[in-house]
A and B are shown apart, each in its own frame.
Chain A
Amino acid sequence: MKVPLRLSVNGEEFELVVPHHRTLLEVLREDLGLTGTKHGCELGECGACTVLVDGLPYLSCLTLAVEVEENEISTVEGLADGPALHPLQEAFQELGAAQCGYCTSGMLLSAKRLLDVTPSPRRAEIAQGLAGNLCRCTGYIKILDAVQLAADRSTGGGR
Chain B
Amino acid sequence: MSTAERARAGTDLGLRVVGADLPRVDAAGKITGQTLFADDINLPRMLYGKILGSHRPHARIVGIDTSATENLPGVLAVITGRDLPITYGILPVTQDEQALESERVRFVGDPIAAVAAVDEATAEEAIRMIDVEYEDLPAVSSLDEALAPSEEEARIHTYAENGNVHRSVSLAFGPVEEGFRQADHIREDVFFYQGSTHLPMEEHCAVADHSPDGKLTLWSSTQVPHYLHRTLAKVLELPLSRVRVIATPVGGGFGGKTDPFPHEIVAAKLSMLTGRPVKITLTREEVFLAHRGRHPVLMWFRTGVREDGRITALHCRTFLDGGAYGSYGLATLYYTGALQTVTYDVPAYRFEGLRFFSNKPPCGPKRGHGTPQPRFGLEIHLDKIAEDLGISPVDIRRRWAVKERSRTVNWLRITSCGLVECIDRVVEASGFGDKRGRLPFGRGVGFACSSYLSGAGLPIYWNDMPHTSVRIEVDRGGGVTALCGQIDVGQGSDTVLATTVSEILGLAPGDIRLVTGDTDLTPVDLGSYSSRVTFMMGNAAIEAATRVRRTLLEAAALKLGVAAGDLRMEGGRIECGGTSLSFAEAVQCAEATGGPVTATGSYTPPDLAGPFKGSGVGPSPAYSYTACVIDVDVDPETGIVLPRKVWVAHDVGRAINPRLVQGQIEGSVYMGLGEALMEEQVFRERLHRGPSMLEYKSPTVIEMPQVESILVETLDPEGPFGAKEAGQGPLLPVPPALCNAVHDAVGIRIDEIPLTPEKILKALDRKAKGEEPRVGPAGVPEAPFREPTWVDPPPEAPTLEPASVWKEG
Contacts and interface: CB of A to CB of B under 8 A. Distances in A.
Interface of A: 29-30, 33-43, 45-46, 48, 75-77, 79-80, 85, 89, 92-96, 98-105, 108, 127-128, 130-144
Give the interface SS of chain A, mostly helix, strand, loop or mixed: loop
Interface stretch (B379-387, B587-595, B662-670): B662-670
A39 B252 contact: no
Interface in B209-268: 249-254
Given A38-B251, A42-B284, A130 B701 contact: yes
Counting chain B CB atoms within 10 Å of each CB, the highest count among A40, A48, A103, A132 belongs to: A40
Interface of B: 23-24, 26-37, 39-40, 42, 198-203, 249-254, 283-284, 489-492, 659-660, 662-663, 666-671, 692-694, 698, 700-702, 704, 706-707
Given A77-B32, A137-B490, A98 B24 contact: yes
Contact of A35 (B23, B26, B27, B36): B36
A102 B201 contact: yes
Counting chain B CB atoms within 10 Å of each CB, the highest count among A45, A137, A139 belongs to: A139
A134 B704 CA distance: 12
B29 to A, nearest CB: 7
Counting chain A CB atoms within 10 Å of each CB, the highest count among B33, B34, B251, B704 belongs to: B33
Contacts of A34: 33
B31 A92 contact: yes
A135 B201 contact: yes
A94 B23 contact: yes
Nearest to B24: A96
4 closest Cβ pairs, A-B complex: A36-B33, A100-B490, A101-B30, A139-B670
Contacts of A95: 659
B693 A138 contact: no
Contact of A101 (B26, B663, B670): B26
B492 A99 contact: yes
B249 to A, nearest CB: 7
A100 B202 contact: yes
B671 to A, nearest CB: 7
Given A41-B693, A85-B31, A139-B704, A101 B251 contact: yes
Contact of B254 (A108, A136, A143): A136
A43 B201 contact: no
Contacts of A93: 23-24, 27-28, 31
Contacts of B670: 136, 138-140
Contact of A102 (B24, B252, B284, B700): B252
Contact of A138 (B28, B253, B663): B663
Contacts of B203: 39-40
B201 A136 contact: yes
A137 B668 CA distance: 8
Given A100-B489, A139-B671, 19 more contacts: A35-B40, A36-B34, A45-B694, A46-B693, A77-B33, A80-B32, A93-B23, A95-B659, A99-B490, A99-B663, A102-B251, A102-B252, A103-B201, A131-B702, A136-B671, A137-B252, A137-B490, A138-B670, A139-B669
Given A43-B284, A100-B252, A135-B201, A141 B31 contact: no
Contact of A100 (B250, B662, B668, B692): B250
Contacts of A30: 42
A31 to B, nearest CB: 11
Contacts of B669: 139
Contacts of A96: 23-24, 27, 492, 659-660, 662-663
A131 B700 contact: yes
9 contacts: A35-B36, A37-B33, A40-B201, A40-B693, A43-B692, A76-B32, A100-B253, A136-B201, A137-B252
B491 to A, nearest CB: 7
A43 to B, nearest CB: 6
A128 B33 contact: no
Nearest to B709: A141
B37 A102 contact: yes
B643 to A, nearest CB: 12
Contacts of B33: 34-37, 75-77, 104-105
B490 to A, nearest CB: 3
Contacts of B27: 92-93, 96, 98
Contact of B663 (A46, A105, A136, A142): A142
A80 B706 CA distance: 31
Contacts of A35: 33, 36-37, 39-40
A30 B119 CA distance: 11
B693 A45 contact: yes
A94 B704 CA distance: 22
Contacts of A100: 30, 200-202, 249-253, 489-490
B100 to A, nearest CB: 24
Contacts of A104: 30-31, 33
A30 B46 CA distance: 12
Given A40-B202, A101-B490, A141 B666 contact: yes
A79 to B, nearest CB: 7
